[in-house]
Amino acid sequence: MPAPVTDSDAPADRVATSDPTGLHRVLDTSDGRRVLPQAAQRLDTRRELWPDEVRVRVETLNLDAASFRQLEGTHCVDGRHDGDAVRREVLEIVAERGKMQNPVTGSGGMLIGTVEEVGPESPLGLEVGDHIATLVSLSLTPLVIEDRLERWDGRSEQVPADGYAILFGRSIAARIPDDLEPGLSLAVMDVCGAPALTARLVQQYDAPVVAVIGGAGKSGSLSLAAARREGASRTVGVVPHEAEATLLRDAGLADDVVVADARDAIALRDAVESTGGLADITVVCVDVPGCEGGAILATAERGTVIFFSMATSFSAAALGAEGVAADVTMLVGNGYTPGHAAYAMQLLRESDGVRRLFERRL
Amino acid sequence: MPAPVTDSDAPADRVATSDPTGLHRVLDTSDGRRVLPQAAQRLDTRRELWPDEVRVRVETLNLDAASFRQLEGTHCVDGRHDGDAVRREVLEIVAERGKMQNPVTGSGGMLIGTVEEVGPESPLGLEVGDHIATLVSLSLTPLVIEDRLERWDGRSEQVPADGYAILFGRSIAARIPDDLEPGLSLAVMDVCGAPALTARLVQQYDAPVVAVIGGAGKSGSLSLAAARREGASRTVGVVPHEAEATLLRDAGLADDVVVADARDAIALRDAVESTGGLADITVVCVDVPGCEGGAILATAERGTVIFFSMATSFSAAALGAEGVAADVTMLVGNGYTPGHAAYAMQLLRESDGVRRLFERRL
């Protein structure tokens, strides 16, 4: 266990050695249990590095969709979004918690920045000056904002910011390719867990039918591309309205494109079934609550539902499946699969359709 | 689509034919979306059956552990539980929603009763007079309580009750064996999804190490028995204190029994690792929040975590795994696997240890 590089301001009663999970920066001490940074109320944001850490100069924060939607909804009067109030709340959260974790959704996002200092024992293979995206959630990343987010109007998920963030021994970061616009790289890396896990699942079935709820979105379009690439016999993209259906049809990523409100369980089931039968694998990529029942009903017996939406309710999924006697496997969409960033970048480079959908959103 | 047996009091604007999922009893109409009974705010509890339904005379409700714990915690003053207040709240919930679904946990429980009437098109194979347990959650079962729960003191999960409940075409119910005490059968059936899914997972690995968090509990002890039966190379039971460790050791269900606070992620990881290495399959069976991180850390790369606790947070699981770059599969514990009730009963009959742990709790 390495000793800290600088411990001049380390409280005497706290751990002085680092843990690859970042445990040494958790400040919660109320009940004596050791929680991980993601579950912590508050993180230690000191600039000084433990030997296995990396400090990153922040350039852009990318709030996750569920979190931003929640913040926007809270600060909305008469249908008008109050961007200043959203910005103030983000600043307050970061100041209070030492990380950007939406207290309601529990989610965070990710960031782009430049490596500022690398601890002598960091296993991440980064060098000072590297331009990177972090692939661990902001909800567990020590973060200090130094510019009051003055360049952000509080109206988009991408937040220009100056400040610093800390990566742990077991964090994940990826170098941003030189040939792609940084915003595009960030957008791809933000959701790269979805296509990687979809790909793994498709390989476990024999030419499955794959339905992606929210197929025209970022994680959705990549998941559709992954499904086709790994041998899906048929891919179905479900979108909420005709405008998105046109976009997805033009992108050419799905064999069938259908319109349905994913929160209407019966409508979703019927829409998927109408394409030639239920799905073997259903991937939920829409960040609105209440899609669990429909996703389960749209999935064939012994099929699998992968929930990538942070708006998923655990109990709604568990009890929803039981409630209709559905023998489906339900996966919590793990944002990490080895090689996920490179795989997603490859999908983007191979597919003009994916690229067009992403560039539209920048 | 069958017409209702009795539709004299059916509002003219509502569906007049039944759906096997129970959709026809959902009263939510605010926004025009059709949600399933589990997600509904309010269910139609009319006595009259649609042709594929079954009405059950209720004998006992069994509130699920997470729900009961939440209710107890809410009505607790100076460390004393107010059973009357808990009873009042359950009555209010059922009167308001037409089902027993805890608004905080989203969960319900199950019930024991006697079949009172069987619709002519019911596919469940039940007969009037059958003594059954329902294996779908109370959170989606139309329920009317007719005795004000007068025989219940509000201090235990098992609630003596008189009233009726409705089963749909796609519901699940199991006849209660004559040779077992009904309370024992109910307790086993209540958690029978856990051992069935554990068994399926163990079969997918080659002699895996299986750790069960909450191994001395109901779902936990059955899951340990299932893991051993299906070929686990080693089973580990994790319990919160020495008293439970003694009980579990006496039951002889686990190769190793270790004590750890499952909410302390590092303690949980270290406890499991100390038995000879991390687990290939970790089954979470404790109904307290905050166990996601520890369960993930206690699991080996390419291992699987099954979350059976209704206290599981979806975002804590998803982001927790990503946050420590853990390549683990995470399953939402589906309460339904075909044959689950019979399998759990078999485990109980085969294992004196399981039976002793269950009988202790009655």
| Interface touch A315/B310, C-beta < 8 Å | yes
Binding-face residues of B in 177-196 toward A, CB within 8 A: 193
| Interface touch A336/B325, C-beta < 8 Å | yes
The distance between the two most distant Cα atoms of chain B, rounded to a whole number of Å, is 66
Span A307-357, pLDDT tens digits: 999 889 998 999 888 888 899 999 999 989 999 999 999 999 999 999 999
Closest to A293 (Cβ–Cβ): which among B35, B136, B312? Answer: B35
| Interface touch A23/B266, C-beta < 8 Å | yes
| Interface touch B330/A329, C-beta < 8 Å | no
* Chain B CB within 8 Å of residue A137 CB: yes
Nearest Cα residue to A215 out of A264, A265, A276, A281: A281
| Nearest-CA distance A264 → chain B (Å) | 5
Residue A24: closest C-alpha in chain B = B266
Share above pLDDT 90 across residues of chain A, in percent, rounded to a whole number: 78
Give the burial class of B25: count Cβ atoms within 10 A of its Cβ; 0-12 exposed, 13-18 middle, 19 or more buried.
buried
Q: Which two tokens stand for residue A107?
A: 């989610």
* Chain A CB within 8 Å of residue B15 CB: no
Binding-face residues of A in 49-88 toward B, CB within 8 A: none
**What does pLDDT average to over chain A?**
92
Residue A265: closest C-alpha in chain B = B35
Nearest Cα residue to A50 out of A134, A144, A171, A137: A171
* Chain A CB within 8 Å of residue B281 CB: no
Q: Which two tokens stand for residue A290?
A: 């209440």
SS3 A87: helix
Sort out which chain B residues have CB atoms less than 8 A from A135's CB and list them: 322
Output the pLDDT for position B11: 43
Structure-token match 């606790």, residue found: B309
Give pLDDT tens digits along chain B (362 positions): 444 444 444 444 445 689 999 999 999 876 777 888 998 999 999 999 999 999 999 999 999 888 999 999 999 888 888 999 999 999 999 999 999 999 998 989 999 999 999 999 999 999 999 999 998 899 999 999 999 999 999 999 989 999 999 999 999 899 999 888 888 988 899 899 999 999 999 999 999 999 999 999 999 999 999 999 999 999 999 999 999 999 999 999 999 999 999 999 999 999 999 999 999 999 999 988 899 999 999 999 999 999 999 889 999 999 889 888 899 999 999 989 999 999 999 999 999 999 999 999 87
ipTM of the complex: 0.84
* Chain B CB within 8 Å of residue A96 CB: no
Q: Residue B299 has what DSSP assignment?
A: E
Closest to B334 (Cβ–Cβ): which among A171, A193, A328? Answer: A328
Output the pLDDT for position B34: 82
Closest to A323 (Cβ–Cβ): which among B36, B326, B332? Answer: B36
Closest to A322 (Cβ–Cβ): which among B193, B264, B290? Answer: B193
| Interface touch B33/A267, C-beta < 8 Å | yes
| Nearest-CA distance A261 → chain B (Å) | 8
| Nearest-CA distance B149 → chain A (Å) | 25
Span A175-210, pLDDT tens digits: 999 888 888 988 899 899 999 999 999 999 999 999
Output the pLDDT for position A323: 83
**Cβ within 8 Å of residue B230, ≥6 positions away:** B198, B199, B202, B203
Asked if residue B327 lies in contact with residue B303, where contact means CB atoms within 8 angstroms, the answer is no
Asked if residue A141 lies in contact with residue A108, where contact means CB atoms within 8 angstroms, the answer is yes
SS3 A343: helix
B141-171 burial by CB neighbour count: b if 16+ within 10 A, else e?
bbbbbeeebeebebeebbbebbbbbbbbbbb
- H runs (alpha helix) in A12-101: 65-74, 83-97
Output the pLDDT for position B54: 98
* Chain A CB within 8 Å of residue B30 CB: no
C-alpha dist (Å) from residue B213 to A322, B223, B325:
22, 10, 22
DSSP per position, B227-294: HHHTT-SEEEEEESSHHHHHHHHHHT--SEEEE--TTSHHHHHHHHHTTTS-EEEEEE---SS--HHH
Span A62-80, pLDDT tens digits: 998 889 999 999 998 888 8
Asked if residue B126 lies in contact with residue B172, where contact means CB atoms within 8 angstroms, the answer is no
Output the pLDDT for position A182: 83
| Interface touch A322/B137, C-beta < 8 Å | yes
Output the pLDDT for position B323: 83
Output the pLDDT for position B9: 44
Sort out which chain B residues have CB atoms less than 8 A from A323's CB and list them: 21-22, 36-38, 136-137, 139-140
Q: How many Cβ atoms are within 10 Å of B129's Cβ, its own excluded?
A: 9
Closest to A106 (Cβ–Cβ): which among B140, B315, B327? Answer: B315
SS3 A223: helix
Asked if residue A119 lies in contact with residue A126, where contact means CB atoms within 8 angstroms, the answer is no
What is d(CA B20, CA A325) in angstroms, rounded to the nearest whole number? 10
What is d(CA B322, CA A344) in angstroms, rounded to the nearest whole number? 16
* Chain A CB within 8 Å of residue B327 CB: yes
Output the pLDDT for position B1: 41
Asked if residue A110 lies in contact with residue A171, where contact means CB atoms within 8 angstroms, the answer is no
* Chain A CB within 8 Å of residue B312 CB: yes
Q: Is the pLDDT of residue A9 over 70?
A: no
CA A228 to chain centre: 22
| Interface touch A319/B172, C-beta < 8 Å | no
Q: Which two tokens stand for residue A326?
A: 């559905």
* Chain B CB within 8 Å of residue A133 CB: no
Nearest Cα residue to A38 out of A133, A141, A144, A192: A141
Structure-token match 């191994």, residue found: B215
Output the pLDDT for position B258: 98
* Chain A CB within 8 Å of residue B104 CB: no
C-alpha dist (Å) from residue A272 to A62, A249, A261, A279, B234:
32, 16, 12, 7, 42
Edge-to-edge strand ranges of the sheet holding B234-239:
A256-259, A234-239, A209-213, A279-284, A299-307, A329-332, B329-332, B299-307, B279-284, B209-213, B234-239, B256-259
Asked if residue A265 lies in contact with residue A236, where contact means CB atoms within 8 angstroms, the answer is no
DSSP per position, B31-78: TS----TTT-S-B---SSPPTT-EEEEEEEEEE-HHHHHHHHHHTEET
Share above pLDDT 70 across residues of chain A, in percent, rounded to a whole number: 95
| Interface touch B334/A318, C-beta < 8 Å | yes
Range of weakest confidence among A52-56, A288-292, B50-54, B203-207:
A288-292
Nearest Cα residue to B176 out of B53, B68, B60, B285: B60
